[in-house]
């Protein structure tokens, strides 16, 4: 049994002159997995699977820009403070993508992509909902490769060994003997958050495919659940962070995002009181978007075909 979890001493693998950064590879892997899941869920609801690829091509650049802006705005000291270097704000590969900025600006990219692909935004948001936390779980291992996002010192059996890190070189600092400098063992908060994201993905997948949610509620559920775990992780972290009234900025943002998610969840139920999120293989979601509601099984058994047709044509979403 391991006494601690070892951390990489290098976060970059070189293929000749080409650097393969662990942080970037984890983000990319998360994007690929989320795209596959979204495509399958769109197809199950009557839309083209390839539409997910078209939308993601908008989400990714918007999300990266938004995530970086949020990080730089909430932690400006390394870039604009004393001895800071503004150029470093552009070095995304060194870490520092704020999830809140990524989701906010990524949502704008998703809206643009959804319009171009002809997919209703609420349907797209629900299709993405379970894949998004799964992508975050995978992406969090990028922090592992950068020896970052760890908590307070601890000696628990799953403690994470952290090295003194040279972010510019993408590797651990070494001492006079050539050995990596170890700072100590800490709570692996990146792993805690990854596990929480996996749980969120499972919960959303199970509930959304049960047919009990209205359109848009699956995404609202994600926006509610993620901040709950993030608050706990933030309170465990020991790295520098700007604070408001004694709490890290991300704690306050998490509280606001939770309230936003709750508002989305309740608003979508009120907006679509009779339209449930389609199960896999059911095209009722698409029918609802074209102003057609599905008649209940009891009605279809008793009504004549002409009456059922008239009823369907007169229904609105």
Phi, psi (5° rounding) for residue 153?
-60, 140
Check: CB of residue 253 under 8 Å from CB of residue 100.
yes
pLDDT in tens, 51-98: 999 999 999 999 999 999 999 998 888 898 888 889 888 888 777 888
Using pLDDT thresholds of 50, 70 and 90, give the confidence band for residue 2.
low
CA distance 274 to 180: 61
Is residue 140 annotated as involved in ligand binding?
A: yes
Q: What residues does 172 pair with on adjacent strands?
A: 165
CA distance 41 to 56: 14
The predicted model scores a pTM of 0.80
Mean pLDDT of 115-134: 94
Secondary structure string (H, E, C) spanning the chain: CCCCECCCCECEEEECCEEEEHHHHHHHHHHHHHHHHHHHHHHHCCCCCCHHHHHHHHHHHHHHHHHHHHHHHHCCHHHHCCCCCHHHHHCHHHCCCCHHHHHHHHHHHHHHHHHHHCCCHHHHHHHHCCHHHHHHHHHCHHHHHCCCCCECECCCCCCEEEECEECCCCEECECCCCCECEEEEECCHHHHHHHHHHHHHHHHHHHHCCCCCECCHHHHHHHHHHHHHHHHHHHHECCCCCEECCEEHHHHHHHHHHHHHHHHHHHHHHHCCCCECCCCCCCHHHHHHCCCCCCCHHHHHHCCHHHHHHHHHHCCC
Task: Look up residue 258 and give its two tokens.
Answer: 């939770």
Contacts of residue 79, Cβ cutoff 8 Å, sequence gap at least 6:
72, 85, 86, 88, 89
Using pLDDT thresholds of 50, 70 and 90, give the confidence band for residue 304.
very low
Using pLDDT thresholds of 50, 70 and 90, give the confidence band for residue 272.
low
Mean pLDDT of 212-238: 92
**Cβ neighbours of 1 (radius 10 Å):** 3
Residue 305 pLDDT: 43
Q: How does the average pLDDT of the chain come out, rounded?
A: 85
- What sign for the dihedral angle of Cα 208, 213, 219, 225? negative
């Amino acid at each position: 049994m391991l006494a601690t979890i070892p951390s990489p001493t290098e976060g970059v693998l070189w293929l000749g002159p080409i650097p393969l950064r662990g942080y970037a590879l984890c983000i990319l892997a998360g994007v690929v997995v989320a795209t596959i899941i979204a495509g399958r869920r769109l197809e199950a609801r009557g839309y083209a699977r390839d539409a997910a690829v078209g939308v993601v091509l908008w989400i990714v650049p918007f999300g990266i820009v938004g995530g970086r802006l949020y990080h730089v705005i909430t932690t400006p000291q390394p870039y604009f403070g004393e001895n800071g270097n503004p150029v470093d704000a552009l070095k995304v590969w060194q870490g520092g993508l704020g999830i809140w900025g990524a989701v906010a600006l990524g949502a704008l990219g998703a809206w643009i992509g959804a319009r171009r692909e002809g997919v209703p935004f609420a349907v797209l948001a629900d299709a993405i909902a379970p894949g998004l936390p799964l992508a975050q779980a995978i992406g969090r291992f990028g922090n592992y490769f950068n020896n970052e996002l760890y908590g307070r010192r601890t000696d628990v059996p799953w403690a994470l060994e952290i090295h003194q890190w040279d972010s510019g070189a993408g590797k651990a600092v070494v001492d006079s003997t050539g050995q990596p400098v170890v700072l100590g063992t800490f709570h692996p908060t990146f792993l805690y958050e990854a596990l929480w994201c996996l749980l969120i993905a499972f919960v959303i997948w199970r509930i959304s495919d049960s047919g009990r949610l209205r359109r848009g509620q699956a995404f609202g559920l994600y926006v509610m659940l993620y901040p709950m775990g993030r608050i706990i992780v933030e309170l465990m972290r020991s790295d520098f962070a700007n604070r408001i009234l004694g709490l890290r900025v991300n704690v306050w943002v998490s509280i606001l995002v939770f309230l936003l998610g709750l508002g989305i969840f309740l608003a979508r139920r009120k907006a679509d009181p009779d339209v449930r999120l389609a199960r896999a293989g059911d095209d009722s979601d698409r029918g609802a978007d074209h102003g057609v509601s599905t008649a209940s099984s009891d009605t279809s058994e008793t009504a004549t075909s002409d009456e059922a047709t008239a009823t369907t044509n007169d229904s609105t979403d």
